[in-house]
Amino acid sequence: MKMKPAVPLLLLALLAVTGLSQAQLGNSFLDFSWILPSLSRPANHSRIFYAVMFDAGSTGTRIHVYTFIQSDLEQLPVLDNEMFHSIKPGLSAYADVPETAGQTVRMLLKVAKRTVPRVEWKRTPLVLRATAGLRLLPAQKAQALLNQVQHVFDESPFLVSDDGVSIMNGKKEGLLAWISLNFLTGHLKAQSRKTVGILDLGGGSTQITFLPKLRKTTESAPAADYTAKFDVLNSTFELYTHR
């Protein structure tokens, strides 16, 4: 099944595939280390790259298998294709039977194995980010679900890191969506003066993130947790975000 790219996961996939570091993204008040799994990809002389991303949401678990092509070694790869599949309910529904969550992920991994050539499995990043469904669970139950997923990932033939499975908080979810959408639409380029705000209506949470026109918007924010300032692609942005 094909569909339009899931915006936040697309940038996560691109970063994992290219191995961009915090230094390459620029010094920032926003720590990007939470985005990238700490892994070192085996050498790949091909110009075709793959990434497997799991979105563990409140209403379902989705797998996105991205294919990137790098036509210019001086530029980032471009998205060529996405394969998508989902299963309901979300992992949080299995809080009392975490083993079932592992079975769900194992079934979805079959999509990745059918899509990614076998020769590419060992160098293809495999990452899961959970959102509101697991954020709302008691910490112990959420961790039990993550442990099951990590176990399934470790058994897989794909490239997995110890921090490849985690829960993403609402602020970071909104920021990543904003960066991804504006990257895809070309609004992060230095010559671009306009950006696009995002309103992400999820099954268990909502995030709104935008670049204010007036500085007083960020200055009057009720807490520092509502703002984020960072450098990316040679431009500085100070966003207002709420969830």
More confident residue, 139 or 189: 139
One of 99, 120, 155, 173 is an active-site residue; which one? 173
Residue 220 lies in a domain: no
pLDDT at 26 over 50: no
Percent of the chain with pLDDT over 90: 37
Q: Which pLDDT score is estimated for 5?
A: 45
Residue 243 lies in a domain: no
pLDDT average, residue stretch 4-10: 54
User: CA nearest 76: which of 154, 133, 6, 17?
Assistant: 17
Residue 145's domain is classified under what CATH number? 3.30.420.40
Residue 72 lies in a domain: yes
Residues spanned by the domain of 17: 7-167
103 is annotated as contributing to ligand binding = no
Q: In b/e form, how buried is each residue of 79-90, taking b as 16+ CB within 10 angstroms?
A: eeebbbbbeeeb
Q: Which pLDDT score is estimated for 9?
A: 65
pLDDT at 100 over 50: yes
pLDDT average, residue stretch 38-57: 71
pLDDT average, residue stretch 196-218: 79
Residue 12 lies in a domain: yes
Residue 86 lies in a domain: yes
Residue 83 lies in a domain: yes
**Alpha-carbon span 147 to 150, nearest angstrom:** 5
- Which band of pLDDT confidence, cut at 50, 70 and 90, is reported for residue 103? very high
204 is annotated as contributing to ligand binding = yes
173 classed as catalytic? yes
- Name the DSSP class of 226: G
pLDDT average, residue stretch 34-49: 54
Q: Which pLDDT score is estimated for 241?
A: 85
Q: pLDDT per residue over 108-145, tens digit each?
A: 999 999 999 999 999 999 999 998 889 999 999 999 99
Query: What's the number of CA atoms in the CB half-sphere (13 Å) around residue 221?
Result: 20
More confident residue, 155 or 216: 155
Q: Which pLDDT score is estimated for 94?
A: 97
207 is annotated as contributing to ligand binding = yes
Domain total of the chain: 1
Beta-ladder partners of 84: 64
Residue 210 lies in a domain: no
227 is annotated as contributing to ligand binding = no
205 is annotated as contributing to ligand binding = yes
More confident residue, 225 or 189: 225
Among 7-11, 121-125, 141-145, 233-237, the range scoring the smallest mean pLDDT is: 7-11
Residue 195 lies in a domain: no
